[in-house]
Amino acid sequence: MSLYLASASPRRKALLEQLGLSFDVCPVDADESVFEAEVGSCYVERLAKLKANMALDKLRAASDIDASAGRCLYVIGSDTSVVVDGVILGKPLDQNDFSKMMNRLSDSTHEVLTGICVLRYDISTEKVVEESLVVSTDVRFKCLSDSEISAYWHSGEPADKAGGYGIQGLGAVLVSAINGSYSNVVGLPVSELKELLVGMGFDFWGSLATNGPSI
């Protein structure tokens, strides 16, 4: 079996590496525009599916599928967004946009949604099976001062983060509580992903025994 991650995110890559899985990265450049009236759960699931299918198309077009690795390959697509009061927060455009985000999140609870999609591709028959789901985590921010918001922006961390923060980094000091999956907030809900893979026939524990660190 071969496993591919349709993402260039170092955070998602690190989470998969922590599991001891052997995989390859196949990043894609997907249009992440939000459709009119699109709700957060639909948005992240749609993008997860789009990224997974784009990666599989890319692999097939490049003849980059190793038939010797097994009868099937699996492709993981994922997308994470911060949603507050029904509004999807993307990456901050500039410091002013970031400050507005932080003031909106300050002293309140928001939702972090991650869509994950797994494609199972049968190399011999070229049949594709697709499964997807959305995982939600509630995140509570402490009350943020203007000086904290400014200092965090100038740390350089928020610029490329959806919602303007990274819980796995300095952004952790902004968070007072979470309810749900921590890895989901980082960008890939690993427990739910494992169940999705296993349900599609992926030998998760066998892969760990072969590729993972000894216990």
Count of domains forming the chain: 1
| pLDDT digit string, tens, across residues 129-163 | 999 999 999 999 999 999 999 999 999 999 989 89
Find, among 74, 79, 67, the residue nearest to 200 by Cα.
Answer: 74
According to the model, what pLDDT value does residue 62 have?
86
Across the range 101-116, mean pLDDT stands at: 97
What pLDDT is recorded for position 215?
33
Instruction: Show the beta-strand stretches assigned E in 52-210.
Output: 72-84, 87-89, 109-122, 128-141, 175-179
Spot the catalytic one: 79, 85, 107, 203: 79
Q: What is the CATH number of the domain that holds 176?
A: 3.90.950.10
Domain of residue 92, residue span: 2-211
pLDDT of residue 212: 46
79 noted as active-site residue: yes
pLDDT tens digits, one per residue of 55-97: 999 999 987 676 555 689 999 999 999 999 999 998 999 999 9
Instruction: Kindly state the percentage of the chain with pLDDT values over 70.
Output: 93
What mean pLDDT do residues 107-125 have?
96
For residue 210, is pLDDT > 60?
no
pLDDT at position 63 is: 75
Two tokens, residue 101: 């985000």
Q: List, for residues 4-35, the tens digit of each pLDDT value.
A: 999 999 999 999 999 999 999 999 999 999 99
Closest CA to 47 of 59, 35, 60, 62: 35
